[in-house]
Structure 1
Amino acid sequence: PLLAKGKLPEDWQVLEEQFLCMGRYGPISRATLVRRGSLGPSLPVILKKLPAGGGAGEEMKHFIELMKFHIQICTHDSLVKALWCQSQTLPLCLVLEAMSLGNFLGFLWQTRQGSVPRKGHIHVLTEKKVFAMAIQIARGLDYLTASQRLIHGDVAARNVLIHQDLTVRLCGLGLAGEVSRRPAVEAAEVPIKWLPPERILKHPVTARSDVWAFGILLYEAVTLGAPPYPALQPSEVLPWLQRQHRMEKPDQCGDDLYRIMRSCWQWKASKRPTFSQLIDQLDSHVPRANEAETLAATERLDLSDYQRTAGVSPREVQLCLSEP
């Protein structure tokens, strides 16, 4: 019944479907939804499909759960919303709202190259804009953890989408797990550099496990997509953290923002702030945030080096670089 509510109305049709990349379950495409016989506006969307030949057994079950999750849970303004789904015929398909500038990490990499014009706009980032985007993401995570009792499990810039007005929304939500249980996202599937110590050590996770990763996301935003722990290989991160080291304050990062990052990286999860507290802290510092200087990066980002240093898969890099 839940999926029936999300079924694409018969008077709408999908046009201009264009392959972007392969996702976890199958092809991800961009497309346009139009109403048959209507001169009204079209609707840009993202399609996630489970191919007819690849939908047996567990894969099909997981994809159906993904569709249910998006329709039932992803209703908050800071989460990417499901518009419709196709669950009665193959291929199974989830229709998600599109964000005009695509992946946030890819956007940060583009911004490194000198405020590259995107679709007629020139986008620049300041520390103040980072604060505004961080508040939006924290609100989405607060909704998940406090209202829905869920852990996202893979909070990172690569799992955020961005619109041309610089609003941002969390994606990568279909694998979220219940608070106090092991998240459905296995630790091996999430790069170590975004994991809190308790997940690396396979200890119980809590809502504040996402808080640690949120601090890493703040680092990504203010450094325009630099890999965390840039001097360390992924295997070196846990011993380094156990020696009570933490990343230093990045260039162009103010003291207030850095203090918030450090509060997210408390070894004991219980000492980390909640997302509600983070929203209050971020909001209180917005008036003092730097809005005069444009964030920039002097060093060139080599994507193969990034992949190796960050410990992410080639598929993840491809997803980040896909055009919106």
Structure 2
Amino acid sequence: MQIHFSEQLNPWGLFSSALCILWGSSAELDCCVAMGDERRMTRMLLECSLSDKLCIVQEQQYEIIIIPTLLVGIFLILLGVILWLFIREQREQQQSPGLRGVAHVPASRGLSWEAARPEGSVFVPLKETSVESLLRTSTHALAKLQVPREHLSEVLEQIHNGSFGTIYRTKMYTGDPDEPKSVVLKALKETAGLQEVQEFLGQIQFYQYLGKHKNLVQLEGCCTEGLPLYMVLEDVAQGDLLSFLWTCRRDVMTMDGLPYDLTEKQIYHIGKQVLLAVEFLQDKHLFHGDVAARNILIQCDLTAKLCGLGLAYEVHSRGAISSTRIVPLKWLAPERLLLRPAGIKGDIWSFGILLYEMVTLGAPPYPEIPPTSILQHLQRRKIMKRPSSCTHTMYGLMKSCWRWSEDSRPSLRELHSRLETAARTANDKAVLQVPELVVPELYAAVAGVSVESLSYSYSIL
């Protein structure tokens, strides 16, 4: 039997007819005729008997061609959309600030919102609709920290413009009019919105939660019962450790009672105090995240006080670090550069960088490597060479901090013990000397930091 197609066939009609013939019984063919092209289907059925399988096979050929073609088309469209989204994400990452010497910090290791907020800490929830109602809500939580405004001197010395507002140095009268206490005021700008006010109050409460530690900058109180809002901090007038190290390069013996001669033994002395502060944070399930000389304040007796607790505050209050938080690349551990979760072992890596800063009197780390190339440098398992002023014992401590694997680095307590052992035999007579003076702008470019971050200030917690 031969089948004659005397007219041009409609493909979509053949497709619908094929489906009916494939899935329906012979009794249902009349229904298919009614649904499709009646004139064409009638001619096909007149030429094909119900027992003629060749006709059915020829009809099914259209189904075999059309359905796979549709499926392949849909698959190609989805694949194109996925590839477009992937390429767009890669371009956004390449345009991030990390390419300019700083990196966005990933969320902290294994911490959730609930786990990062210990019992007993009280944080003001952002449920109020105005600044005034928010201040009334926080009055009870901050009652013990309130400092009467009349106890603060009206003479304010501006020392910095911070992200929240202006930073001042002033006097606080504590009862003895002859001996007022020098303090630093962090003032919240009067144009701050509700979110900024809540953040400012949260930082005050974070200090309240931390409590007192001799190697952390202390909170003296606050003025939050009305505007302007003040955070009152202790004043460490001698400044930051990085500036102190740069001054040690000059021919200066003492200044304002602070000796500017640094020995190997004194490096261990300062390092042990920094470790005590980091251990204190670890006991509260926190980490610092940016251990560096610029984030350490120094007193006349070489007492070191760790500041720059912004990352620790975010972990405590939110359970993670915000995506906008950035840290200079050259102080970050490899896992941080690879955007893995942050942890206390990252602080140990940074502590090794701190030892390098102190023994070189404030030289930038990896001076020959651009900040944006530091990850590739470390991936080749390369570390900084031993400085000429560095003993083999101290360099051994640095190398232990710079082990690629986090688990291979020493713990804080083990590192503290090794520092104490090294300090017993350290040289306390030979003064470290570096003849070159530092140009801040050049240092900032090599280190991958902003020049503004190098000036002594309380711009960050």
Same fold (TM over 0.5): yes
In structure 2, what is the Cα distance between the partners aligned to 1:185 and 1:217?
A: 25
TM superposition shift of 1:117 = 3.2
Matched, 1:262 2:377: no
Q: Give 2:310's aligned amino acid.
A: G
1:22 and 2:161 are equivalent in the alignment: yes
For 1:272 and 1:314, locate their aligned partners in 2 and report how far apart those are by CA, in whole Å.
32
Higher strand share: 1
Q: 1:79 aligns with which of 216, 238, 252?
A: 216
Task: Determine the C-alpha separation between the residues in 2 that align with 1:199 and 1:187.
Answer: 15
Secondary structure of the residue aligned to 2:157 is strand
Following the alignment from structure 1 to structure 2, what is the Cα–Cα distance between the partners of residues 155 and 122? 23
Task: State the AA in 1 paired with 2:453.
Answer: E
Give the CA deviation at 1:166. Answer: 0.7
The match for 1:12 among 134, 144, 151 is 151
Contact 1:78 1:168 in 2 (8 A): yes
Paired position in structure 1 for 2:231? 94
Q: Is 1:192 the equivalent of 2:329?
A: yes
Pair 1:170 & 2:306 matched? yes
Aligned match of 1:202:
339
CA distance in 2, matches of 1:185, 1:131: 34
Q: Which residue of the partner structure matches residue 199 of structure 2?
A: 62
Three-state SS of the structure 1 residue aligned to 2:301 is coil
Matched, 1:33 2:172: yes
1:302 Cα deviation from its structure 2 partner: 1.3
Residues 258 and 299, structure 2, Cα contact 8 Å, conserved in 1: no
Structure with larger Rg: 2
Query: Residue in 1 aligned with 2:182?
Result: 44
Q: 1:230-250 deviations in whole A, cap 9, x for unaligned?
A: 111101111000000001111
- The unaligned stretches of length 5 or more in structure 1 are none
Distance 1:308 1:118, change over 3 A: same
TM-score normalized by structure 2?
0.65
Shift of 1:20: 0.8
CA–CA distance in 1 between the matches of 2:456 and 2:212?
A: 24
SS state of the match for residue 45, structure 1? strand
TM normalised by structure 1 equals 0.91
1:101–1:118 contact (8 Å) kept in structure 2: no
- Output one character per residue of 1:3-31: Cα deviation in whole Å (capped at 9) or x when no partner: 22111146622343211112232212211
2:370 maps to 1:233? yes
Distance 1:12 1:269 in 2: 49
Assess if the C-alpha contact under 8 Å between 1:158 and 1:320 holds in 2: no
**Deviation larger for 313-322 or 281-290:** 313-322
- Counterpart of 2:341 in structure 1: which amino acid? P
Structure 1 residues 117-126 or 211-220, which shifts more?
A: 117-126
RMSD: 2.2
Partner of 2:23: none
Structure 2: unaligned runs, 5 residues or longer = 1-139
Q: Which amino acid aligns with 1:30?
A: R
Q: Distance in 2 between matches of 1:190 and 1:236?
A: 15
The 8 Å contact of residues 110 and 116 in structure 1, kept in 2 or not, is answered as no
Q: In the alignment, which residue of structure 2 is the partner of 1:247?
A: 384
Cα 1:10–1:30 change in 2 (3 A) is closer
Change (3 A) 1:159 1:87: same
How many corresponding residue pairs?
318
Partners of 2:408 and 2:244 lie apart in 1 by: 32
Post-superposition Cα deviations, 1:117-142, rounded to whole Å, max 9, x if no partner, equal 32154431101001001000000101
Q: Provide the identity percentage.
A: 36
Determine which structure has the larger helix proportion and give its number.
2
Q: Is contact 1:105-1:320 (8 Å) kept? A: no
| Contact 2:174 2:181 (8 Å CA) reproduced | no
What CA distance in whole angstroms lies between the structure 2 residues aligned with 1:175 and 1:48?
18
Q: Which amino acid aligns with 2:303?
A: T
